[in-house]
Every structure is written in structure tokens, then in C-alpha cells.
């Protein structure tokens, strides 16, 4: 089943309010086998809302609107939906009773305009709002179904949890759907898509959707079946093939970050980690310490932005800096090894580079970064040339440093066995 979500509100279109309702609703509907195929945001203008609802009904079986159900002059969603569905607005007396009771409990006077919240397209199923005064409604027509929800997210989430809406969504369920996310590092989105192109076209009950994030690629797998077991079987079979093809690039499954995977690996292997940062200025340490419990394995780090501090805190040789410069493989190696020994950890990663926008040369351009990794078994450094502005270069440096630390912990853990 397909769904279209329409956010009503000039404040949403203008960007004054972030539309958090749409992704929340889209994710909420997935377990019921309802796939969102269209999202729109329209101003508080009747003709725009009417046009959006009609478009939604052409594209989907279910249209969900949010916003515009309140008592003010610009709350015109119900009027517009009634126009789009060619239905008259009918007053729901039970909603009037509930509204009067609400104002009595709140010891407030109810003004006449509040009663506008009690009118719905003829034939609607009205659902009372646990967290507000504007009820929701579901209206069935030959063209499709329109569900109207209020705008505040706290009211949307409460209404979706009501028995009325849950039972309605259950009645729509025709298939089971399972979503799985695989996370990749070290391979680009286009390269991954090229390798998986046959699998992306082969099975109609499987949808593969790769999308790039900073420094990594995520692959969302959506499997559909008559039962959960059937959908899970499709997922497991595909995952087995994916691990055979591109398993070397998969670092995690599910909603987990690279830094969380790194910390879990360090804890599993009983390894400690330190960092030595130059161009990233403490971003690696900040990323790691944002995770609760990181203090169990992350001892800390040093920010050696200047050459004197590289020598003092990381034992980088003056001769290395003079001959090869601060941005070099030799300096990155010595930073990592010096930090590991001086700070007493199992693993150390270092970063030194030219983040820009200035400071680059033909020999050492902006975006050139060396990342060093040191364990008791070996020390090495890797050359990268990142493309982008200063922020992107620094963020890509952090991602790659975390990934190299993860690989180091895995290798060190294997050597103990």
C-alpha cells in the first residue's frame, strides 16, 4: 500500500519549523506494509491544500495530512480536504462534548472559534486527541483514504498510538515488511551500486537503496512477504550473497555508528585507545566521548597543533619535521607511536594534514592528510587526499581515523588468539 504525506503550514514551507512529522509518520507506517511514496509541504492556502490532496490521491491509496486543524483563521485543512473529496463538513457532537469538558477541566472560557475543530467531512471516523483539543479523522472515498492529524509532533505521536488508528492500520495490512541496514566503509556509492546492480533489479519483493553519508555508504534492504518469516528469509538470503560479494567493506548492521562499533570492538578485545590530533583539533576525541561508556577504553588524547607540541607530547623527532614536514607519513607514524607509548595505550591513531582553505602547495595540496596507527606489533601511516571544504576534510579525517582504529583492534585481537 502506498502513502502520501502532506504537511500543511506556511511556517513549514518557509523553514521556520522543521517538518519532523513526515519522517516519523513514514517510519511508523512501515510495519503495516505502507510505503510512503510522496511527501509535500504546502502553505495555509485552501487551493494549495486541495491541489496537494488530489495529487496525493492519484499517487497513493492513503493520504495523511498534518497541521491546520486548530481554531484559528488559517486552520483550513478540513475545509480544503472536504472540497477535494467533494464532501460537506458535518459537526461531530461528541467532539463538542469532549471540547467543552476540556475547557471545564482547564477552568478556561471556550470561545466560539474553538468549535471549528469539531467539524469533519461527512462520513469521517473521528478520533479524539489525547494531547490536544483538535481531533484527528479518517475519511474513506472511492478515490482513496485521507487521514487528518494535527501539527504538533507530541499530538501526532500520541494519536498514532491510539487503538482507533492502530486497528485501522492493521486492517490495511496485506503484507509484512522487514527493513535492514548494512553500513559500508572504503567503497563509494556508485561502485557499490555497480556491483549490486543485478540484485537491485532481480527481485520485486526486495528493494535495495544505497545512499552516501560523509565517508561511508549505507544500504537499506526492504523485504516484503506474506509473512514475517517469508520476508526474513528473503533478507537473510540476500545478506549472505552481499557478504560474499562486498563483505570486506561491511562494518556494521543496523542503526549503529562507526564510533559505537569501534568502542564495542575495543571493549570486546580489552584494548585501550588514545588519539593524537593536529588538523582535526580534537574532533576524534569529541566523537568518541559523545558515546556513553567510552571512558572504559578511551584513555584520552592530545592536540598537537604546533611542531613543538608534536615533539614534546608525541616524541616526534625534530629531524623528521625538518626533512619531511609536519604533514608527512613519518610525522604521522611518530605521532601515533609516541602517543601510544607516552600515554600507555594498546592502540593510538594520529592525524596530520592540510584542511584548508589555505596552506596548500603543489607538492602538498589542500586536503592532503596522513593518518597514523600504532600498536605494539606495528606502526604505519596512510595517505589520503580528501576533496571538499575545511569542515568536510576534517570530518573525513575523523571517519577514516576511527575506521583504521577499528581495523587495528580487530587485527590485534586476532593475533592474541
Tens of pLDDT, residue by residue over 231-259, are 999 999 999 999 999 999 999 999 999 99
Residue-wise pLDDT for 127-160, tens only, equals: 999 999 999 999 999 989 999 999 999 999 999 9
Mean pLDDT of 6-22: 96
Three-class secondary structure assignment of the chain? CEEEEEEECHHHHCCCCCCCHHHHHHHHHHHHCCEEEEEEEECCCHHHHHHHHHHHHHHCCEEEEECCCCCCCCCCHHHHHHHHHCCCEEECHHHHHHHHHHHHHHCCCCCHHHHHHHEEECCCEEECCCCCCCCEEEEECCCCEEEEECCCHHHHHHHHCCHHHHHHHHHHCCCEEEEEEEEECCCCHHHHHHHCHHHHHHCCCEEEEEEEECCEEEEEEEEEECCHHHHHHHHHHHHHHHHHHHHHHEEEECCCCHHHHHHHHHHHHCCCEEEEECCCCCHHHHHHHCCCCHHHCEEEEEECCCHHHHHHHHCCCHHHHHHHCCCCHHHHHHHHHHHHHHHCCCEEEEEEECCCCCCCCCCCCCCEEEEEEECCCCEEEEEEECCCCHHHHHHHHHHHHHHHHHHHHHHHHHHHC
At residue 202, the pLDDT reads 64
Query: Quick check: helix, strand or coil at residue 407?
Result: helix
The Cα 255–Cα 261 span in angstroms is 11
The Cα 393–Cα 280 span in angstroms is 9
**φ/ψ of residue 46, rounded to 5:** -55, -45
At residue 415, the pLDDT reads 79
Better pLDDT: 112 or 247: 247
Sign, CA torsion 181/183/184/188: positive
Task: Give kind and range of the element (H or E) at residue 411.
Answer: helix 390-416
Q: pLDDT band at 205, cuts 50/70/90?
A: confident
Residue-wise pLDDT for 55-90, tens only, equals: 999 999 999 999 999 998 888 999 999 999 999 999
- Residue whose C-alpha is closest to residue 394's, from 333, 349, 353: 353
The dihedral over CA atoms of 413, 414, 415, 417, expressed in degrees to the nearest 10, equals: 100
Any idea where the domains of the chain sit in the sequence?
2-172, 176-253, 258-416
Is the pLDDT at 416 greater than 80, yes or no?
A: no
Query: CATH fold of 176-253, please?
Result: Alpha-Beta Plaits (3.30.70)
Query: CATH fold of 258-416, please?
Result: Maf protein (3.90.950)
At residue 33, the pLDDT reads 86
pTM (predicted TM-score): 0.81
- % of the chain residues with pLDDT over 70: 99
At residue 174, the pLDDT reads 83
Q: pLDDT band at 417, cuts 50/70/90?
A: low
What's the mean per-residue pLDDT of the chain? 95
Is the pLDDT at 108 greater than 90, yes or no?
A: no
Residue 131: exposure state from Cβ atoms within 10 A (0-12, 13-18, ≥19) = middle
The Cα 249–Cα 229 span in angstroms is 28
The Cα 45–Cα 51 span in angstroms is 10
Q: pLDDT band at 3, cuts 50/70/90?
A: very high
Is the pLDDT at 204 greater than 80, yes or no?
A: no
Query: CATH fold of 2-172, please?
Result: Molybdenum Cofactor Biosythetic Enzyme; Chain A (3.40.980)
Mean pLDDT of 172-178: 86
The Cα 218–Cα 250 span in angstroms is 9
At residue 324, the pLDDT reads 97
Amino acid at each position: 500500500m502506498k502513502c502520501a504525506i502532506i504537511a500543511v503550514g506556511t511556517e513549514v514551507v518557509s523553514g521556520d519549523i522543521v517538518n519532523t512529522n513526515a519522517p516519523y509518520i513514514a517510519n511508523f507506517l512501515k510495519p503495516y506494509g505502507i510505503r510512503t511514496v510522496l511527501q509535500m509541504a504546502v502553505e495555509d492556502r485552501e487551493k494549495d491544500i486541495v491541489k496537494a490532496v488530489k495529487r496525493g490521491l492519484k499517487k497513493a491509496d492513503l493520504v495523511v495530512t498534518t497541521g491546520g486543524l486548530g481554531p484559528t483563521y488559517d486552520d483550513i485543512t478540513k475545509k480544503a480536504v472536504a472540497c477535494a473529496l467533494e464532501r460537506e463538513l458535518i459537526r461531530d457532537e461528541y467532539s463538542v462534548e469532549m471540547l467543552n469538558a476540556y475547557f471545564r477541566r482547564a477552568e478556561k472560557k471556550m470561545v466560539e472559534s474553538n468549535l471549528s475543530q469539531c467539524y469533519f467531512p461527512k462520513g469521517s471516523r473521528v478520533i479524539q486527541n489525547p494531547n490536544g483539543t483538535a481531533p484527528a479523522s479518517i475519511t474513506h472515498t472511492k478515490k482513496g483514504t485521507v487521514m487528518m492529524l494535527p501539527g504538533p509532533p507530541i499530538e501526532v505521536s500520541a494519536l498514532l498510538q491510539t487503538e482507533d488508528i492502530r486497528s485501522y492500520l492493521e486492517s490495511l495490512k496485506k503484507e509484512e515488511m522487514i527493513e535492514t541496514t548494512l553500513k559500508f566503509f572504503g567503497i563509494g556509492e556508485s561502485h557499490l551500486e555497480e556491483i549490486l546492480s543485478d540484485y537491485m533489479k532481480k527481485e520485486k519483493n526486495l528493494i535495495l537503496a544505497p545512499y552516501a553519508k560523509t565517508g561511508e555508504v549505507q544500504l537499506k534492504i526492504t523485504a516484503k512477504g506474506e509473512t514475517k518469516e517469508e520476508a526474513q528469509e528473503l533478507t537473510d538470503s540476500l545478506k549472505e550473497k552481499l557478504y560474499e560479494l562486498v563483505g570486506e567493506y561491511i562494518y556494521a548492521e543496523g542503526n549503529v555508528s562507526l564510533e559505537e562499533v569501534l568502542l564495542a570492538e575495543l571493549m570486546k578485545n580489552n584494548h585501550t585507545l588514545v588519539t593524537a590530533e593536529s588538523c582535526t583539533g580534537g574532533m576524534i576525541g569529541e566523537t568518541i566521548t559523545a558515546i556513553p561508556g567510552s571512558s572504559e577504553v578511551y584513555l584520552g588524547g592530545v592536540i598537537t597543533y604546533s611542531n613543538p607540541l608534536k615533539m614534546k607530547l608525541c616524541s616526534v623527532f625534530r629531524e623528521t619535521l625538518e626533512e619531511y614536514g609536519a604533514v608527512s607519513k613519518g610525522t604521522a607514524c611518530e605521532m601515533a607511536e609516541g602517543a601510544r607509548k607516552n600515554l600507555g595505550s594498546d592502540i593510538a591513531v594520529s592525524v596530520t594534514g592540510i584542511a584548508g582553505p589555505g596552506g596548500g602547495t603543489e607538492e602538498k595540496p589542500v586536503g592532503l592528510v596522513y593518518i597514523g596507527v600504532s600498536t605494539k606489533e606495528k606502526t604505519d601511516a596512510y595517505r589520503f587526499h580528501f576533496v571538499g571544504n575545511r569542515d568536510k576534510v576534517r570530518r573525513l579525517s575523523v571517519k577514516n581515523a576511527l575506521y583504521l582504529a577499528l581495523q587495528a583492534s580487530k587485527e590485534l585481537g586476532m593475533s592474541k588468539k
